[in-house]
Amino acid sequence: MGICLSTKSPPRRNLSKRVTNNTNSSSRWSRVRSSSIKREKFDDSVINEHAIAAALLFQQQNGGVLPFDRSSSLRHVPNSKRHQSLPRSSSTRARSLTDPLLPPQQLLNQDVNADELEVSHIVLVHGGGFGAWCWYKTIALLEECKFRVTAIDLTGSGIDLFDANGIQSLSQYVAPLTDFLEKLADGEKVILVGHDFGGACISYAMELYPSKIAKAIFIAASMLKSGQSTLDMFSQKENSNDLMRQAQKFLYTNGNNLPPTAIDLDKTLLKDLLFNHSPAKDVALASVSMRPIPFPPVLEKLSLTDANYGSVRRFYIQTPEDNAIPITLQESMINESPPEKVFRLKGSDHSPFFSKPQALHKLLVEIAKIT
């Protein structure tokens, strides 16, 4: 998430060609269970309830690991059996029309065949304070379309038990991602997706393992130039964000006379800052799951080269209703380091995996199909 220290907003500049995503269809869908013939509507409220229950259960287990195999932060036992998929709901509650649910079967019928894609393995990297848990809707939709999906818990995030206040560098913070990439088989490539501060994290990984990354997708993310840190980006753009200033709470575990060790967010301001268009149940999930953001990685300047980082195809997904990284700042980053293509996710707040999951899914599939 953004860290704003100055007062003026960056000038709006002309952008490269954009593709606007319009997914306001009010279509409904139903599926047939193998054990019965009756139709039932997919209701993501049950998925939300299970996720919240799982997060609460984890907190009650004194540091135990969640039985949630969607996260591949290299904390699981190799070759362990996958858990049963989350149950569908037979509720007949009408869905919101703001982001209508599209059937995975319909997406597959739109010439989406993961077996024919150059790369069908997508690696999801969360933003500051988040964890692999935030991608649960995206994981479910992509896996329904036969993509292979890995969601990473960075050090001190999600269910990783390391104290965020003890993280000293970006390499330490990103270690679960770089370890994962290092262990990929020779010739295997993935699509990296980074949200928020996860943009700096995937940039770091792109510099180290360009041959293992087919494409990089930045979602409302910090897309930095070489020699720039996330803090530099927000400072030099003179971006004013009073809500961010109010929400940030710096932690000083080494003493008040030394630099901050981490940044926490005021839980009472989470909805307005990060989830202004997201469902209340997802906000509740975030309020019990988000953790402090380690401060040293935010200060660290990236060293990026054209030969490595520059060789990976980059795409950017904008979130116009974003209160954490405003659209003007997103456009400034895009203009200073233009990606191959820019998409705009209409109506999305800072967390499109909650507020616009189906629209985000369609864009991820579309980018995966680009040759």
> Do 68 and 47 touch, CB atoms closer than 8 A?
no
**Diameter over CA atoms, the chain:** 67
Instruction: State the Cα–Cα distance between residues 335 and 339, nearest whole angstrom.
Output: 9
Instruction: State the Cα–Cα distance between residues 28 and 211, nearest whole angstrom.
Output: 41
User: Which CA distances in Å does 188 have to 31, 71, 311, 346?
Assistant: 34, 20, 16, 33
> Do 296 and 169 touch, CB atoms closer than 8 A?
yes
Q: Which phi and psi (to 5°) does residue 345 adopt?
A: -95, 90
Active-site annotation holder among 196, 277, 282, 361: 196
The answer to whether 322 is a known catalytic residue is: yes
The SS3 of residue 50 is: helix
The SS3 of residue 233 is: helix
Instruction: For Cα atoms 131, 132, 136, give the angle at the middle one, nearest 5 degrees.
Output: 125
How far does the chain reach from its first CA to its final CA, in angstroms?
Answer: 31
Active-site annotation holder among 44, 99, 160, 322: 322
Kindly provide the residue ranges of all beta strands, DSSP E only, lying in the chain, ordered along the sequence. 18-21, 31-32, 39-40, 121-125, 148-152, 190-195, 213-219, 248-251, 262-265, 293-294, 313-318, 341-345
The answer to whether 350 is a known catalytic residue is: yes
Cα–Cα nearest to 155, from 128, 175, 134, 181? 175
Instruction: State the Cα–Cα distance between residues 126 and 181, nearest whole angstrom.
Output: 16
> Do 147 and 368 touch, CB atoms closer than 8 A?
yes
Q: Which residues are catalytic?
A: 196, 322, 350
